[in-house]
A and B are shown apart, each in its own frame.
Chain A
Amino acid sequence: MTVASSPPSRLPVRDIEGTQPKPRTREKRERDGGGRGDGALAALFIAPAMLGFLVFLLWPTLRGIYLSFTRFNLLTPAEWVGLDNYVRMVKDPIFWDSLTVTVEYVFINIGIQTVSALAIAVLLQRLTQSAILRGIVLTPYLMSNVVAGIVWLWMLDTQLGIGNEIIAGLGFDRIPFLADETWAIPTIAVINVWRHVGYTALLLFAGLQAIPNDMYEAAKVDGASEWRMFWRITMPLLRPVLAVVLIMTVIGSFQVFDTVAVTTAGGPANATNVLQYYIYGAAFGRFQFGYASAMSVALLVVLSAITFVQYRLTRAGQTDLG
C-alpha cells in the first residue's frame, strides 16, 4: 500500500521537475488546473464514487453505530434502548470467550505468518530473483477461504487425511486437528497462513527491493555473514514496511470468518467461535441486529486501538532510509 518504491514512470517526472526552475513549475501547474473551471468536471468525475462512498461506506458506518443503541430484528422498526446492548455485551460470557478465541487466533496466525513471510521474502531477495518462484508463492492467494478450508479439512481428516496418514506412518497417534478443542484454533490459523503468506511475503519483498544493494555489497566486503546482514541491514531498514504490513494483516486477521464457517462452524463446544462468527450468528441466526451491531462497534474500537498503538510503537510512518 504505502510500501516504498516508485513505478518506473515516476523517474522521468522527477528528473524533469528537478531540472526546471521552481517558479515555472508552479506557474505551469496553475495554468493546468484552470482554477474554478475544473469544479464542475471534478464533481461529474467523482459523482459515482462519491455515491458509493456515502451510501455503502459512510452511511452504514453511522447507521451501524445508531443500530447498536437499538433493538432491531428487521421486521419491526428499530427501537431505541440506549446502552442496553452494551451492558448485555459486557455481561455476556460467550462474547468474552469469542474475543479470547479471536485474540488467540490472531496471535498464532500473525506470529507464524510474519516469520514465514519474512523468511520467504528474504530468500526471494538474497537467494534468487526468480519471478516464477514469486508466482508460485502467490498461488494459494487465488483460492477462496472456502476452498482452502475444504481442502485442508480433507487433508487433515482424522481417518483418511494425508496429514494423519503421514503422522500414523511415522508411528504417532492421529490428531483430530479440527475436531479437538485445543487443536482447532491453531489449525485454522495455520490454514489461513497457507493462504495468505505468499501475498504478505510479496509485500515484504517490495520493501526489501527498496534497500540499496550496495549496503549488502559493502557489508560483504567487511566480511559480514548473511545472518549478521539480516539483523543489521535488512531488519532495521525494513521496519517501516514491516510495521505497515503488520497493521494490515492484524486487522485482516481479526476478521476471520470464512474458514471457520466451512471447517468447524464455531465448534467443537464454541472453541472456534470467533468474534465475527458470533456476530454473524447473532444477526442472522437469532436476528438480534442491535446486539450484533454493538459487538461490531466493539470490534471497531478494538481494531482502532490496536492500529493506533501499533502505529505509535513501530513508528510506522518514519523511515530509516535516506
Chain B
Amino acid sequence: MTAVTATTTKVRRTQRPRITPGKVVAWTVMAAMVLITLLPFYWILRTALSTNTALAAHPGDPLPVDLTTGGFERALGLQSTEEAIAQGGSGGGLKFWRYLINSTVVSTLITVFQILFSAMAAYAFARLRWRGRDTVFGLFLAGLMVPTIFTLLPNFVLIKQLGLVDSLLGISLPTMFMTPFAVFFMRQFFMNVPREVEEAALLDGAGKIRIFFRVMLPMASAPILTLGVLTYITSWNDYFWPLMVSYSDSSRVLTVALAIFRAQTPQSGYDWSGLMAATLIAALPMLVLFGFFARRIVSTISFTGIK
C-alpha cells in the first residue's frame, strides 16, 4: 500500500505543479485548520505562565504576562495556603502527583491486560478451530453496539457489590479483560499472518501455546503498539466511569481531579493560571507518548482506519 502510493506520487511529480488560485485557497484553509488546532495548546502554556492579576489586566496579550511558575506550584500543591489564596487559588489541597500515579496505574493495568487477553482471544478466533467459533465472535462484535452509558450503571452496582468502589482495581476492572474492538482489531492482524510461519514452527515441534507467545505475539508487535497507545490514551482520558467509582484521593485519577480543581476555584474569579497549569500537567504525558509514536500511529489509522 505504502509503496504503491509512493510510486504514483513520484510519477506525478514529473509534471511541475503550478501555483493556481485554487491551490492558494486550499493552502490557506489548511493553514487556518492547523492554527485552530494548535492555538489552544499555546494558550494553555501562555496562561499557565502568567499571574492571575496580570491576566485580568492584559487579557489579549499574546505573550505570558508577568512570567511566573506560580500556577504550576499551585497545581502541584507546592504553595502554602496563604500564598495560593493571595495568587487567586482556592488554597484547597490537591495532590497532583498522587493523581498522576493513579492515572498511570489505571491506564497501565487496563492497557497491558486488555491487550494480552484480547490478543489471546483474537488468536483463538483467527487461528484455532473450534465449534461455535463464528457465533461467539459475532456475539463479541455485537458488544460494539452497546452504548457505554448502558453498561455503566449496572457495572457500578456490581463493582459496589464486589466492594471495589473507590479502588484503582474497581476503575480498571470493566475494561481490563477485553473490549470488542481490541479483539476485532487483533483478529484482523492474526488472520493475515501467513500460514507458513505457523507451519514452520509446528514442524520444529513447538506447541500452539508456544507458537502464540514466541512467534505470533512478537510478529504482532506493530499493531500491538498502535492499539496499546490508543488504549492508553483512551483510558487516561476517561472521565465518566472513574467519576462514578472514585470518591477519595486514594483512587482519584487526573481527569476527575482536574474537574474538581476547576469546581474548587472561586466562582468570583477563576484561578485560570493554576487551572491551565493543571491542564497541562494532565495532558503532557499523552503529548509525550504521542510524540514518540506519532508516525506509526498516524499511518496505522490512515491505512486501516481503526476506531
Contact = CB atoms under 8 A, between A and B. Distances in A.
Q: Are A and B co-members of a single complex?
A: yes
Nearest to A202: B301
A173 B34 CA distance: 27
B239 A146 contact: yes
A129 B9 contact: yes
B194 A202 contact: no
B77 to A, nearest CB: 18
A151 B298 contact: no
B183 interface: yes
Given A135-B298, A154-B272, A284-B244, A59 B130 contact: no
Contact of A143 (B43, B113, B129, B237): B237
Interface string B283-307: 1001100100011011101111111
Interface stretch (B20-28, B66-74, B86-94): B20-28
Q: How large is the interface on B (under 10, 10 to 19, 20 to 34, 35 or more residues)?
A: 35 or more
B260 to A, nearest CB: 10
A231 B290 CA distance: 35
B123 A205 contact: no
Contact of A162 (B43, B120, B236): B43
8 A-B pairs with the lowest CB-CB distances in the bound complex, closest first: A52-B177, A3-B305, A33-B129, A206-B305, A144-B237, A60-B154, A49-B121, A165-B60
A136 B189 CA distance: 27
Interface in A7-53: 7-13, 16, 28-29, 32-35, 38-39, 41-43, 45-46, 48-53
Residue with the greatest number of chain A CB neighbours at <10 A, chosen from B155, B209, B223: B155
A213 B8 contact: yes
Contact of B117 (A52, A58, A140, A292): A52
A276 interface: yes
B112 interface: no
Contact of B176 (A52, A60, A154, A261): A52
Interface string B275-288: 11001001100110
B305 A207 contact: yes
Given A64-B150, A119-B29, A155 B40 contact: yes
Contacts of B12: 213, 217
Given A42-B130, A139-B287, 8 more contacts: A16-B194, A45-B120, A57-B180, A67-B153, A135-B298, A142-B290, A150-B258, A209-B302
A144 B150 contact: no
Contacts, number: 330
Contacts of B147: 251, 254-255, 296, 299-300, 303
Interface in B143-178: 143, 145-158, 160, 173-178
Q: How large is the interface on A (under 10, 10 to 19, 20 to 34, 35 or more residues)?
A: 35 or more
B258 to A, nearest CB: 5
Interface in A116-153: 116, 119-120, 123, 126-129, 131, 133-148, 150-153
Interface of A: 1-13, 16, 28-29, 32-35, 38-39, 41-43, 45-46, 48-53, 55-61, 63-64, 67, 74, 116, 119-120, 123, 126-129, 131, 133-148, 150-155, 157, 159-162, 165-166, 169, 194, 198-199, 202-203, 205-207, 209, 213, 217, 226, 241, 248, 251, 254-255, 257-258, 261-262, 276, 279-280, 283-284, 289, 292-293, 296-297, 299-300, 303-304, 307
B5 interface: yes
B294 A48 contact: no
B290 to A, nearest CB: 5
B305 A5 contact: yes
